[in-house]
A and B are shown apart, each in its own frame.
Chain A
């Protein structure tokens, strides 16, 4: 026979104002199985908890129901108190008579009757509660960081500096990401390369960081604390151990006219190349699509001139398996292109801007390369079409962003600031030039940001026109910009030499495919979703996977670095223990009833369901059943709702418990 203790909380006046708590305690006290019931002003306070503990011991209680606020608020508090008094914490349940009752009703009589019902239901439920043992999972104290931009670099360095091993995987031949492409950074105008490259070198030299560049994630298996990750290391055609980075191969390569993606295809590179001189690692890679040897079987000049004999045309892609306990995803962003989009895509492109076919209409990143001292023009602002210096330059903000009718409704967050920076860089380099900016409104909520934006107008003479541009077209060697100035209500036409578009920030291409490998969720734009928008901003809903940088949403550098360090702190918290404990609210399969249809496996969003073979003593296979890995299960209960034979149940939320509650009504 159960000896249940029921504790009714007044919550100051929050509950007792509309619910007659004394009557609830009296009536519930008469229910079968209830040995003790009482009320108290603040049950969550120290004297309140002591009341619960004392009652457990003095009344020899077997189960506890606390009728108070939402379990989200204080379930942990009371379960701890119950545990301290010597009961299993999962024999304690909360009846929510605040959010579900007193707060939403006015009639005292009706609210009191409802409160009695709610508590009565929980009394019946708690009778069916089982003792649940805490689950412990071993933790592999190595981290995987995916993406070697500033977010990944920062997260990797922070984790490695704490003494844990880090595997850093980068898709491109060098780490550095987009930040390495930038010329100067707002709001201080310090050179991006100068603050970025030392960090890149730190990564390369760190004894705890293992770097895989030109590599991609092939497969992710396992769960928090115990992931197995398969990494595809693409054939570089250069032996990294032998190569000294002397660069002779690149100077001798006869293929010299290949557009360099790092320079936004304005600068040229060779077929064997490093994307930029400060690349880490400084080991070239052969672009097999453009290499004469791979196309025709002739040439091989690089092989002939390479002193250490590092060129290896026969190199193959290799697969490497690494065991890690946590994963930081920092795959970054890509810029929206205004070119025509294929049918079916919600993003429409910009036909009114010629779909990107006017050569001197460039995007913000291309302008960064033009302004960069190490860029294709050596830092001179020159037109891609004819190499002339533009004297009239127009910047257009919110291209793609905040344009629902074009398919993207969000704000890309960094464009107001980088456009202000562009006008300054332009003014510093072209003294007799004039910059115009078309903008909707300037969004500059960061430390020293608004001052920076004001400076572009007040000191650097940029002319800001509030309004949007309806059309761009080529007229001779000018680009006609037709727009509106809505602050004075007139149409504006500017004959510009160059136009720079602040195009929207989008997640990297393939972000969705990677998310599917990792089992993490993403929004309709393919930005990765955090577990909670406010309170868990760097964690994924999938345990053990964390987010850093623009893969989660548009971000500037300071914010990206902060988030990367936050993700690293989360990883370090996980690594601070050898075993991790987790709540035992997980699904359990009743193997006798399971027919192995695996409907549960199909619906499990966390990849927690595995296939388990049942064998007899001779080792003959009897059947294959579902097995829920308690380390991965998030306790959502979808499998329970799906199972056609009712063979999987969520501990703490079994059908038996739910039915008992309904029958109590």
Chain B
């Protein structure tokens, strides 16, 4: 065993609302894996997409303040949501290259910006800090025979010089993590395409079109399910799936799991501890068929 792993945990707004099962499964999984999570005290919204569209300085200041709050807790910052991850990393990047903006933000938050603190997505913690070997050692119910389409979406790896999670255009980190717990992965074409994201509210027609292309590609590649690391992708792929099937007169039936849910199954966590009941596309028939629940 290596040194104990402890993180300051930044769930982000989604995980306290529409993606509560992501929050639940993350806490349960990390508990089993022996990874300590301490929620950032008094954290607040990272600004997500709206803030930086309206006021860049505001979006930078929101992230800078959260980074400062996280600094009070031991360990690197663990982030679950791809959007929060992207915003926090972008803020560090922008404030690192612009002295003018950094000075303005430091005045706004009345504290120095934490440019050096490590912001890590859960994938990074599992694949690199814990390591694939230790992850595999914790498995007691390998996901054998389950064909997973790993969906990165836009923000986990891009833009190429900001998150530095993996190669921006041909990443493999999700595949490596889920293969480590026994699943098969499929090679598919749309794993890095946009699902439409926030336009799900303002331009649902566009989202239905884009998300359909993602679902179609995953199905064509022979996937049983899709794995995501982003609440917004999850919303579009899972909640809109039935509607999309209606529009395109087709049937996908692809359950959409958060990575922590799938890995949680492999370490023996039950459906109630993973929030599987919150999924719109019912995963139970698939999991029963594969003998996983």
A interface, CB within 8 angstroms of B: 340, 348, 350-352, 354-355, 405, 471, 473-475, 480
Contact A355 B170 (CB under 8 A): yes
Q: Could you show 10 A-B contacts with beta carbons less than 8 Å apart?
A: A340-B167, A340-B170, A348-B168, A351-B170, A351-B171, A352-B169, A355-B170, A405-B160, A474-B189, A480-B189
Bound CA–CA A662/B189 (angstroms): 71
A474 proximity list for chain B (CB < 8 A)? 189
B192 proximity list for chain A (CB < 8 A)? 352, 471
Contact B161 A405 (CB under 8 A): yes
Bound CA–CA A471/B190 (angstroms): 10
B133 proximity list for chain A (CB < 8 A)? none
Please judge, given known A-B contacts A471-B193, A473-B189, A475-B189, whether A350 and B161 are in contact too, CB under 8 Å: no
B161 proximity list for chain A (CB < 8 A)? 405
CB-CB contacts below 8 Å: B159-193 with A: 159-161, 167-171, 189, 192-193
A473 proximity list for chain B (CB < 8 A)? 189
Contact A351 B189 (CB under 8 A): no
- Of the listed residues A348, A350, A355, the one surrounded by the most CB atoms of chain B closer than 10 A to its CB is A348
A355 proximity list for chain B (CB < 8 A)? 170
Taking the nearest CB of chain B, how far is it from the CB of A366, in angstroms? 22
Tell me the nearest residue of chain A to B188, going by C-beta.
A473
Bound CA–CA A480/B169 (angstroms): 16
B interface, CB within 8 angstroms of A: 159-161, 167-171, 189, 192-193
Please judge, given known A-B contacts A405-B160, A405-B161, whether A351 and B193 are in contact too, CB under 8 Å: no
Tell me the nearest residue of chain B to A482, going by C-beta.
B193
A340 proximity list for chain B (CB < 8 A)? 167, 170
Taking the nearest CB of chain B, how far is it from the CB of A239, in angstroms? 49
4 closest residue pairs by CB, A with B: A351-B169, A351-B170, A473-B189, A352-B169
B169 proximity list for chain A (CB < 8 A)? 350-352
Tell me the nearest residue of chain B to A476, going by C-beta.
B220
A350 proximity list for chain B (CB < 8 A)? 169
Bound CA–CA A360/B161 (angstroms): 30
Taking the nearest CB of chain A, how far is it from the CB of B158, in angstroms? 10
Bound CA–CA A355/B168 (angstroms): 12
Bound CA–CA A57/B248 (angstroms): 102
A405 proximity list for chain B (CB < 8 A)? 159-161
Bound CA–CA A161/B15 (angstroms): 79
A475 proximity list for chain B (CB < 8 A)? 189
Bound CA–CA A480/B161 (angstroms): 27
Tell me the nearest residue of chain A to B193, going by C-beta.
A471
Bound CA–CA A436/B192 (angstroms): 25
Bound CA–CA A473/B217 (angstroms): 11
Bound CA–CA A475/B188 (angstroms): 10
Taking the nearest CB of chain B, how far is it from the CB of A534, in angstroms? 33
Bound CA–CA A405/B168 (angstroms): 11
Tell me the nearest residue of chain B to A473, going by C-beta.
B189
B160 proximity list for chain A (CB < 8 A)? 348, 405
Bound CA–CA A405/B158 (angstroms): 12
Tell me the nearest residue of chain B to A474, going by C-beta.
B189
Residue from the list A351, A354, A471, A480 in contact with B168, Cβ < 8 A: A351
Bound CA–CA A351/B167 (angstroms): 8
B170 proximity list for chain A (CB < 8 A)? 340, 351-352, 354-355
B159 proximity list for chain A (CB < 8 A)? 405
A351 proximity list for chain B (CB < 8 A)? 167-171
Tell me the nearest residue of chain B to A406, going by C-beta.
B160
- Of the listed residues B159, B160, B167, B193, the one surrounded by the most CB atoms of chain A closer than 10 A to its CB is B167
Tell me the nearest residue of chain B to A472, going by C-beta.
B189
A354 proximity list for chain B (CB < 8 A)? 170
Taking the nearest CB of chain B, how far is it from the CB of A483, in angstroms? 13
Bound CA–CA A547/B94 (angstroms): 42
B189 proximity list for chain A (CB < 8 A)? 473-475, 480
A352 proximity list for chain B (CB < 8 A)? 169-170, 192
Bound CA–CA A474/B168 (angstroms): 19
- Of the listed residues A351, A352, A480, the one surrounded by the most CB atoms of chain B closer than 10 A to its CB is A351
Bound CA–CA A355/B169 (angstroms): 9
Bound CA–CA A473/B220 (angstroms): 14
Taking the nearest CB of chain B, how far is it from the CB of A463, in angstroms? 24
Tell me the nearest residue of chain B to A405, going by C-beta.
B160
B168 proximity list for chain A (CB < 8 A)? 348, 351
Bound CA–CA A528/B126 (angstroms): 46
Tell me the nearest residue of chain A to B166, going by C-beta.
A351
Bound CA–CA A116/B1 (angstroms): 78
Taking the nearest CB of chain A, how far is it from the CB of B154, in angstroms? 11
Taking the nearest CB of chain A, how far is it from the CB of B100, in angstroms? 22
Bound CA–CA A532/B287 (angstroms): 70
Bound CA–CA A473/B216 (angstroms): 14
Taking the nearest CB of chain B, how far is it from the CB of A399, in angstroms? 13
Bound CA–CA A351/B193 (angstroms): 13
Taking the nearest CB of chain B, how far is it from the CB of A382, in angstroms? 25
Bound CA–CA A471/B214 (angstroms): 14
Taking the nearest CB of chain B, how far is it from the CB of A21, in angstroms? 47
Bound CA–CA A471/B168 (angstroms): 13
Q: A340-B167, A354-B170, A471-B192 are in contact. List 17 more A-B contacts (CB 8 A).
A: A340-B170, A348-B160, A350-B169, A351-B167, A351-B168, A351-B170, A351-B171, A352-B169, A352-B192, A355-B170, A405-B160, A405-B161, A471-B193, A473-B189, A474-B189, A475-B189, A480-B189
Bound CA–CA A461/B167 (angstroms): 38
Bound CA–CA A262/B284 (angstroms): 58
- Of the listed residues B167, B169, B193, the one surrounded by the most CB atoms of chain A closer than 10 A to its CB is B169
Bound CA–CA A513/B80 (angstroms): 47
- Of the listed residues B160, B168, B189, B193, the one surrounded by the most CB atoms of chain A closer than 10 A to its CB is B189
Bound CA–CA A340/B170 (angstroms): 9
Bound CA–CA A228/B175 (angstroms): 57
Bound CA–CA A352/B171 (angstroms): 10
Taking the nearest CB of chain A, how far is it from the CB of B166, in angstroms? 10
Taking the nearest CB of chain B, how far is it from the CB of A405, in angstroms? 6
A480 proximity list for chain B (CB < 8 A)? 189
Bound CA–CA A350/B170 (angstroms): 8
Bound CA–CA A351/B170 (angstroms): 5
- Of the listed residues B161, B167, B170, B193, the one surrounded by the most CB atoms of chain A closer than 10 A to its CB is B170
Tell me the nearest residue of chain A to B159, going by C-beta.
A405
Bound CA–CA A350/B168 (angstroms): 10
Taking the nearest CB of chain A, how far is it from the CB of B219, in angstroms? 13
Bound CA–CA A340/B169 (angstroms): 10
